[in-house]
């Protein structure tokens, strides 16, 4: 039965109370207090009109029309977990830190909503917009926003280095429909030491000494159990003539690792560039105090680890592994080099 909207009880209650007018500008101090209470370790905001965000604006406004500010969040990770040669330890740290920052972003978004603002918190990691794959699948580029907000600068390993926490951080972004009383300012220096430890640690040679970066080499190995690598594994299943043929192509440990990624969360194969980075005030002291000891304790175990490295056939990554890490097993997979 239709009813006159004016007589609906909820409508009457809403109309009987004073109209709520949210603050046009969000107080930066209040926002920081809310964010830290929610569990983040640092926070800063940047206006949508910041010149460094020109490439993000269309995507951001598609996700939240009327976005005025972007709030960048930082959660720090436990360094020695990330540095562990045991991938289960390092991956658990990535996954748990991702859960923490997503939970915090959701709580902050709720607080903004309760204050009368429209706000959205895109995922810090996955899930992403996979209908766009292999194009841009992320809603907002968290690294770009963090750098513009002054929460760090990009190192040669293409990770954001926070001036205090180093690169042992995960990032998230909240979009909100209001301006903020104070915005962050870009750092006037880069915490990156240009020590080239990330160059030495990368098993596929994705990072060059001059700063060049081989995205394909990095993705083929590190993201073996994500997206393209998973597709290659499925194609191997489909192309195998029998169970015996499949087992001849794919080892039991590779299948177990893929099962683990599917059952729990997808595992990164390396992230060694992050593990060895000594930059950041809270991270730097052991490197300065004993560089040789730092190399032996942090870098060498990753270099010496016996493991399978995934490369595209005939790629520079394949040649790099064979030359620099002959004790590591090379596995050529279906992704082709450019």
At 218-248, the pLDDT tens digits run: 999 999 998 778 888 999 999 999 999 999 9
Share of the chain above pLDDT 70, in %: 98
172 shares its domain with 230: no
Q: Is residue 187 part of a domain?
A: no
Answer yes or no: do 163 and 254 share one domain.
Answer: no
From the number of C-beta atoms within 10 Å of its C-beta (0-12, 13-18, 19+), residue 136 rates as exposed
- Tell me which residue of 112, 9, 120 sits closest to 64, measured CA to CA: 120
- What digits encode the pLDDT tens for the residues 307-333? 999 999 999 999 999 999 999 999 998
Helix/strand/coil for 113: helix
Q: 261: domain range? A: 197-332
147 and 39 share one domain: yes
| pLDDT given for residue 134 in this prediction | 85
Indicate if 128 and 23 belong to the same structural domain. Answer: yes
Structural domain includes residue 283: yes
Contacts of 8 (CB under 8 A, 6+ apart): none
Residue 295 lies inside a defined structural domain of this protein: yes
* Residue 252 confidence (pLDDT): 92
Q: How confident is the model at residue 12 (pLDDT cuts 50, 70, 90)?
A: confident
- Domain tally, the chain: 2
Examine residue 3 and state whether it is found in any structural domain, yes or no.
no
Does 308 share its domain with 218?
Answer: yes
pLDDT of residue 303: 98
- The residue among 154, 180, 206 that closes a domain is 180
Q: In sequence order, what are the residues at sequence separation of 6 or more whose Cβ sits closer than 8 angstroms to the Cβ of residue 46?
A: 53, 69, 70, 72, 145, 148, 149, 183, 184
Does the residue 338 lie in any domain? no
- Whether residues 142 and 263 share a domain: the answer is no
Report pLDDT digits (tens) over 82-135: 999 999 999 999 999 999 999 999 999 999 999 999 999 999 999 999 999 888
pLDDT, residue 282, reads 97
Judged against a pLDDT cut of 90, whether residue 195 lies above it is answered with yes
Distance CA 27, CA 69 (A): 12
The answer on pLDDT for 336 being more than 70 is no
- Written as one string, the DSSP assignment of 282-319 is TTSHHHHH-HHHHIIIIIHHHHH---EEEE-TT-HHHH
Residue 190 lies in a domain: no
pLDDT confidence tier of residue 33, bands split at 50, 70 and 90: very high
Q: What is the DSSP letter of 6?
A: G
Q: What is the pLDDT of residue 220?
A: 93
CB 310 within 8 A of CB 270: no
Q: Report how far residue 78's alpha carbon sits from residue 205's, in angstroms, rounded to the nearest whole number.
A: 26
Residue where a domain stops, chosen among 180, 211, 227: 180
- 329-332/308-311 β-pairing: parallel
Instruction: Say whether both 36 and 128 belong to one domain.
Output: yes
Q: Is the per-residue pLDDT at 337 higher than 80?
A: no
Q: Which of 79-88, 157-166, 259-268 has the lowest mean pLDDT?
A: 259-268
Looking up residue 42, the CATH number of its domain turns out to be 3.40.109
pLDDT over threshold 90, residue 72: yes
Res 295: pLDDT: 98
Joined together, the tokens standing for residue 117 give 């603002």
Indicate whether 168 and 53 sit together in one domain: yes
Decide if 167 contacts 156 (C-beta within 8 A). Answer: no
Tell me, yes or no, whether 166 and 208 share the same domain.
Answer: no
Task: Give me the chain's average pLDDT, please.
Answer: 94
What's the pLDDT at 301? 98
How crowded is residue 175: how many other Cβ atoms within 10 Å of its Cβ?
26
Residues 20 and 167 in one domain: yes
Residue-wise pLDDT for 175-184, tens only, equals 999 999 999 9
Which of the residue ranges 13-17, 42-46, 55-59 would you say has the lowest mean pLDDT?
A: 13-17
Residue-level pLDDT at 19: 76
Q: Clarify whether residues 78 and 36 are in a common domain.
A: yes
- Residues 159 and 210 both lie in one domain: no
Q: Is residue 267 part of a domain?
A: yes
Residue 61 placed within a domain: yes
Residue 271, number of CB atoms within 10 A of its CB:
22
| Domain boundary pick from 147, 180, 213 | 180
């Amino acid at each position: 039965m239709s009813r006159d909207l004016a007589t609906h009880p909820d409508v009457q209650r809403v109309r009987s109370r004073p109209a709520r007018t949210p603050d046009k500008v969000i107080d930066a101090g209040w926002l920081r207090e809310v964010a830290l209470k929610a569990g983040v370790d640092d926070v800063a905001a940047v206006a949508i009109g910041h010149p460094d965000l020109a490439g993000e604006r269309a995507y951001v406004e598609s996700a939240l029309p009327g976005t005025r500010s972007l709030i960048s969040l930082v959660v720090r990770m436990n360094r020695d977990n990330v540095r562990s040669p045991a991938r289960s330890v390092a991956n658990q740290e990535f996954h748990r830190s991702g859960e923490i920052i997503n939970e915090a972003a959701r709580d902050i978004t709720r607080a903004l909503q309760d204050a009368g603002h429209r706000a959205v918190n895109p995922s810090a990691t996955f899930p992403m917009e996979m209908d766009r794959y292999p194009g841009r699948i992320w809603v907002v580029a968290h690294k770009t926003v963090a750098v513009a907000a002054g929460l760090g600068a990009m190192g040669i390993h293409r990770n954001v280095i926070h001036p205090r926490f180093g690169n042992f951080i995960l990032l998230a972004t909240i979009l909100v429909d209001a301006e903020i009383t104070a915005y962050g300012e870009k750092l006037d220096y880069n915490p990156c030491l240009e020590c080239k430890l990330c160059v030495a640690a990368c098993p596929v040679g994705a990072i060059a000494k001059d700063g060049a970066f081989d995205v394909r080499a990095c993705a083929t190995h590190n993201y073996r159990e994500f997206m393209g690598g998973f597709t290659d594994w499925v194609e191997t299943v489909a192309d195998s003539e029998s169970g015996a043929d499949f087992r001849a192509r794919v080892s039991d440990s590779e299948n177990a690792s893929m099962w683990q990624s599917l059952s729990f969360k997808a595992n990164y194969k390396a992230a060694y560039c992050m593990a060895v980075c000594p930059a950041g005030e809270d991270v730097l002291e052991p490197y300065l105090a004993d560089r040789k000891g730092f190399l032996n304790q942090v870098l060498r175990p990753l270099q010496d680890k016996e493991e399978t490295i995934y490369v595209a056939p005939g790629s520079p990554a394949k040649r790099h592994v064979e030359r620099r890490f002959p004790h590591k097993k090379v596995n050529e997979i279906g992704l082709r080099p450019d």
